[in-house]
Amino acid sequence: MTTTVPVSGGGFRPYEVVVGHGLLAELGARVAPLAQGRTVVITDETVGRLHGKAALASLKAAGVHGRLLTVPAGEASKSFSELERVIDRMLAFQLDRKDVVVALGGGVVGDLAGLAAALFMRGIDFVQVPTTLLAQVDSSVGGKTAIDTPRGKNLVGAFHQPRLVVADIEVLATLPERQLRSGWAEVLKHGLICDSGFFDWLAGDGAAGAKGDPGALERAVVRSVEIKSAIVGEDEKEAGRRALLNLGHTFGHAIEAELGFDEAKLTHGEAVALGCALAFRFSAGQGLCPPGEAERAEGVIAAAGLPTRLAQAGTFRSAALVKRMAGDKKAEGGRMTLILARRIGEAFVAKEVDAAAVTAFLEREIAAA
């Protein structure tokens, strides 16, 4: 079965997210109506070995000439130097404004390829073909593209919506268990933000998705995309409600930055999971959320094999983490903005959060290790 989720809003051209099994073989037929005959498929070394030939074969069968452009696997590819190299190769391929970029890979490839497409000749179309669970449920939808800098994650980028997203559940079978769990963190995040019923399912029968059950994965991807598309449609550029999707990210990004964005130590999904647990515990400590809700959220995250405590990620200093959080791109005028919770399924944007309260909270968390 194939499910199509529309994504639309007042400020961008509508597009569709197609979720199903065996969709990589249909890629060419779906891209052909968008392309004038040429594409560049941007992927990383790992995904290229697994799925590059199949993607090119599908494009060729549909009469679309595709070339493969491979980048190193890992977060380090989200850099100015790699962005420059990708755009230079696109110029060497003599792409023009009617051609299409296909981003075949996880969040790193989607971010890098999407930003390259946004910049190339002031913007050309691109198609997201997410090959990780994290990318299927989160980064491929919504048009955020970015690279990292030494000062933080995703600080240089653009909003550039894809023309199409093709999420093939079957490619998830090639994911290592840790990467699958990392993607599951974003699935749990969607339930924690605004759908307690979905979270209840994820805590029960749906938990099989974290272990690779195809049926549970498909349902989890579809519902996550529905949630994200609804929020993006209301608020494309994060002026309001879209900020809710950052639940766990301000804590998580600070932790990632302190670890040097080292995926061997902590993946992005693991950082989000840990950040969500911290956000719920901080909310409970501030009297905003019943302690039992925070405990349940933490329990379900932990049951999925994801971290919930700082000690599971490394050794940290509260002052360093707070400094990172205060410099996050969601901060305004130096004041800290956090996504907090009133209960499971009811997150909210908290502006002008007292940095001293966050510091004290983190000191307690570190001391409890």
Domain annotation covers residue 228: no
The torsion angle over the Cα atoms of residues 356, 357, 361 and 363, rounded to 10 degrees, is: 20
Say if residue 205 is in the same domain as residue 350: yes
The residue behind tokens 């959220």 is 297
Encode pLDDT of 172-206 as tens digits: 999 999 999 999 999 999 999 999 999 999 999 99
Last residue of a domain, one of 139, 155, 174: 174
Q: How far apart are CA 171 and CA 192, in angstroms?
A: 26
Catalytic status, residue 160: no
User: From the candidates 51, 181, 226, 246, which is the catalytic residue?
Assistant: 246
The pLDDT, as a whole number, for residue 331 is: 52
User: The domain spanning residue 147 has which CATH number?
Assistant: 3.40.50.1970
> Which residues constitute the domain of residue 253?
177-223+233-367
User: From the candidates 75, 181, 186, 236, which is the catalytic residue?
Assistant: 186
User: From the candidates 238, 256, 270, 293, which is the catalytic residue?
Assistant: 238
Catalytic status, residue 51: no
User: From the candidates 228, 281, 324, 343, which is the catalytic residue?
Assistant: 228
Say if residue 103 is in the same domain as residue 206: no
Domain annotation covers residue 33: yes
What is the sign, positive or negative, of the torsion defined by CA atoms of 224, 329, 262, 313?
negative
Say if residue 88 is in the same domain as residue 211: no
Say if residue 217 is in the same domain as residue 183: yes
Report the SS3 class of residue 332.
Answer: strand
Q: Max CA-CA distance within the chain?
A: 61
The structure tokens listed for 288 are 């905003």
Domain annotation covers residue 314: yes
Q: How far apart are CA 290 and CA 78, in angstroms?
A: 39
Say if residue 72 is in the same domain as residue 29: yes
8 neighbors 39 (Cβ within 8 angstroms): no
Report the SS3 class of residue 42.
Answer: strand
Domain annotation covers residue 35: yes
The pLDDT, as a whole number, for residue 353 is: 93
Say if residue 16 is in the same domain as residue 152: yes
Q: How far apart are CA 143 and CA 164, in angstroms?
A: 11
Angle at 310 between CA 294 and CA 298, to 5 degrees: 20
User: The domain spanning residue 340 has which CATH number?
Assistant: 1.20.1090.10
Structurally, how many domains does the chain consist of?
A: 2
Q: Partners of 16 in the beta sheet?
A: 6, 164
Last residue of a domain, one of 153, 174, 195: 174
Say if residue 143 is in the same domain as residue 217: no
Say if residue 135 is in the same domain as residue 210: no
Say if residue 282 is in the same domain as residue 301: yes
Report the SS3 class of residue 138.
Answer: helix
Catalytic status, residue 186: yes
Report the SS3 class of residue 100.
Answer: strand
Catalytic status, residue 178: no
Say if residue 138 is in the same domain as residue 256: no
Q: How far apart are CA 23 and CA 2, in angstroms?
A: 9
User: From the candidates 153, 242, 324, 343, which is the catalytic residue?
Assistant: 242
Catalytic status, residue 253: yes
Domain annotation covers residue 306: yes
DSSP H helices in the chain: 27-31, 45-47, 53-61, 80-92, 107-119, 133-134, 177-194, 196-203, 214-234, 249-258, 268-285, 291-303, 318-326, 355-367
Catalytic status, residue 228: yes
59-to-25, 50, 63, 123, 127 alpha-carbon distances in Å: 9, 16, 6, 22, 13
Say if residue 239 is in the same domain as residue 348: yes
Catalytic status, residue 238: yes
The answer to pTM > 0.85 is yes
The residue behind tokens 């030939």 is 53
Catalytic status, residue 190: no
Q: Partners of 69 in the beta sheet?
A: 42
Domain annotation covers residue 18: yes
pLDDT in tens, the chain (369 residues): 899 999 998 788 999 999 999 999 999 999 999 987 789 999 999 999 999 999 999 999 999 999 999 999 988 999 999 999 999 999 999 999 999 999 999 999 999 999 999 999 999 999 999 999 999 999 999 999 999 988 777 889 999 999 999 999 999 999 999 999 999 999 999 999 999 999 999 999 999 999 999 999 999 999 999 999 999 888 677 767 888 999 999 999 999 989 988 889 999 999 999 999 999 999 999 999 999 999 999 999 999 999 999 999 999 999 999 999 987 655 555 568 999 999 999 999 999 899 999 999 999 999 987
Say if residue 195 is in the same domain as residue 262: yes
The pLDDT, as a whole number, for residue 153 is: 77
User: From the candidates 78, 190, 249, 324, which is the catalytic residue?
Assistant: 249
